[in-house]
Amino acid sequence: MTTQDKIDKGLMLPLMEEFYTIQGEGFHSGKAAYFIRIGGCDVGCHWCDVKESWDASLHPATETDIIVRNAVKYSDTVVITGGEPLQWNMDYLTSQLHKNKLKIHVETSGAYPLSGEWDWICLSPKTNKLPQTKIYSLANELKVIIRSKQDFIFAEEQAKQVAKDCQLYLQPEWSVREKMIPLMTEYVMYNPKWKISIQMHKYLNIP
């Protein structure tokens, strides 16, 4: 079997980095988790803070079994992020992590079809490449990045499409947080179905 065959089957993945840290955003903020960052993303958010993840060819194709062996040494919770992890077949990775009794979260734009079996899906939609329709009903958490007032309109459009029990978060884009947080605070007070997510890990200076 060639390397490309293994990648297609999810037996190898372009691993950018993996690390044990504290979840800094959204519903699970403050929880210890093992992060697996998969390379490759063509959604292209100009404010992305991990642009080095975009080119999958820069990140070595790594045996998925090795990734799993590393993950089981740490937390009972694993977060798969990117890049855009759903560019790749997540079936094998998640099946092996579940065999080891780990809870598996994914952070995704939803722009690609959902593969894998997940305990928590954080959907963070982007205007330049909208989510696939199917993922809306499956999302446990909707996290919309707020860079300008227009993003509040986008957030409401996205919230109409998720399930009623989906947790709704607004998160300021880091470079304009001082400008946006007061607007977000006022918005959430008038629209309490939303909560504010802050990138706590950046304040704590941890990965």
Give me the number of domains the chain comprises.
Answer: 1
Residue 63's H or E segment, with its range, is strand 61-63
Assess contact for 91 and 114: CB atoms under 8 A: no
| pLDDT for the residue numbered 204 | 85
Rounded distance, CA 175 to CA 61, Å? 32
Assess contact for 64 and 111: CB atoms under 8 A: no
Domain of residue 80 covers 3-204
Global pTM reads: 0.95
Confidence of residue 27 (pLDDT cuts 50, 70, 90): very high
- Interstrand relation of 103-108 and 120-123 (parallel, antiparallel or unpaired): parallel
For the chain, the average pLDDT equals: 94
Rounded distance, CA 8 to CA 91, Å? 11
Rounded distance, CA 191 to CA 59, Å? 42
CATH number at residue 182: 3.20.20.70
| Residue 177, helix vs strand vs coil | helix
Residue 172's H or E segment, with its range, is strand 167-172
pLDDT at 206 over 90: no
The whole-number average pLDDT for the span 35-50 is 85
pLDDT at 49 over 80: no
